[in-house]
Amino acid sequence: MIQREVYRKVIFDTIKRGSTVISKDVKRIFEESIKKETSVAAKEGLQKTLQSIEMSVEKNNPACPDTGWPIFYFKVGNNCNLEGGFMGLEEAARESVREATRLGLLRATMKHPLTGHDPGDNIGVNIPDFTYKFVPGEDIEITFVAKGGGSECFGGTRHRMIAFADGTIGIKKFITDCYIASTRAGAVCPPSILGVGIGGTANVAANLAKEAACLRAVGSKHPDPMIHKIEAEIYESLNNLGIGTMGSGGDVSVFAVNIEYAYTHIAGIAVATSTNCMVARRATNKIKNSGEIELLESPNWFEGR
């Protein structure tokens, strides 16, 4: 059995790392893009952003102050046994978010949607958000994502029902147009990680898009060659648009295009997009049934799909 005090500490550490440190794949794409970028301003923008991110590790402060929506993904072994059960896990997550907010590791961003009431600790109705995936085994992998407001609000997250008759062409047009609209004047803080969900009900497509944007490592490929071909094609096309760092013009316009799909009713193909900030923040820790803790570089969320 995994003890409460163990998972409570791991959740807090996951939030802290998620907010203050970027993962290796994100750092790598920054470095590659800095080399590649020919616009002086866009190159400088990337360099300064990376420099600031690296200072956050030392200063122990958020890599970006908009720590956004606190979101948890739990990849849970079917035989995982937690002291206090899953309600205990969620309560520990709320406690950890509260503590991280008090310490300035998260900004008190969550408010009542109508009154604007500020609880001051990021805890409210349906927030934080929890998603579970069940896999064989007895371990649990805990991922924290700080989903920034820019990437979520400004056209970064959209969906449309596309007729089967419009097929791949309709899907590619929708994705391209969404990305252009969302990057205007740097709204979603490009170069972003673009996640796409195709199929399922609208909410399934939207969830797949968000998970593709936030949980797939930059540089990863969808294992189905047909899907990866579309990823590669859109990636190349978007990077020829000239959007650049913060939408101010440049060669690198998108860090990655990650597509996931679900089988669907072909009356209407739900297509959803979700972007993640260039300062893409996520962290994953694994707790084994023995209580042993392992830091993971990637959530491996879609492993086995």
Partner 1 sequence: MSIYYLNSPLKNEDIENINIGDSVYISGPVFTCRSRLHKYIFDEGNKLPFSTKNRNSLIHVGPIVIKENGKWKLVSFMPTSSIRFEKWGEKSVKEWNLKLIVGKTTMGKKTADAMKKFKCIHVSPQSVSPNLWIDTITIEDVYLFNELGTIEAAWQMKLDKLGPFVVDIDSKGNNLFDALDKKIEENKIEAYKKMGIPQDFEYTKLY
By the criterion CB under 8 A, which residues form the site for partner 1? 41-42, 44-49, 51-52, 55-56, 59, 61-62, 64-66, 102-104, 107-109, 111, 116, 118, 120, 149-150, 153-154, 160-163, 165-166, 169-170, 172-174, 176, 180, 184-187, 189, 233-234, 236-238, 240-243, 245-249, 268, 277-279
Closest CB to partner 1 among 48 and 305? Answer: 48
Interatomic CA distance for residues 31 and 261, integer angstroms? 30
Sheet order of strands, 293-296 included? 129-135, 69-77, 140-147, 282-287, 293-296
Residue keyed to tokens 């590649």: 36
Least distance CB 239 / partner 1 (angstroms): 10
Least distance CB 74 / partner 1 (angstroms): 27
Least distance CB 153 / partner 1 (angstroms): 8
Least distance CB 290 / partner 1 (angstroms): 36
Closest CB to partner 1 among 253 and 300? Answer: 253
Closest CB to partner 1 among 36 and 184? Answer: 184
Least distance CB 242 / partner 1 (angstroms): 5
C-alpha Rg value of the chain to the nearest Å? 19
Closest CB to partner 1 among 248 and 264? Answer: 248
Segments in the chain forming alpha helices (H): 4-20, 24-36, 40-59, 85-102, 149-153, 167-183, 202-215, 225-238
Closest CB to partner 1 among 116 and 225? Answer: 116
Amino acid at 103: L
Least distance CB 69 / partner 1 (angstroms): 14
Interatomic CA distance for residues 141 and 132, integer angstroms? 10
Q: How far is CA 97 from the centre of its chain?
A: 17
Closest CB to partner 1 among 61 and 289? Answer: 61
Q: Is 141 helix (H, G, I), strand (E, B) or coil?
A: strand
Residue 282, C-beta contacts closer than 8 angstroms, at least 6 positions apart: 18, 23, 143, 144, 145, 146, 214, 215, 299
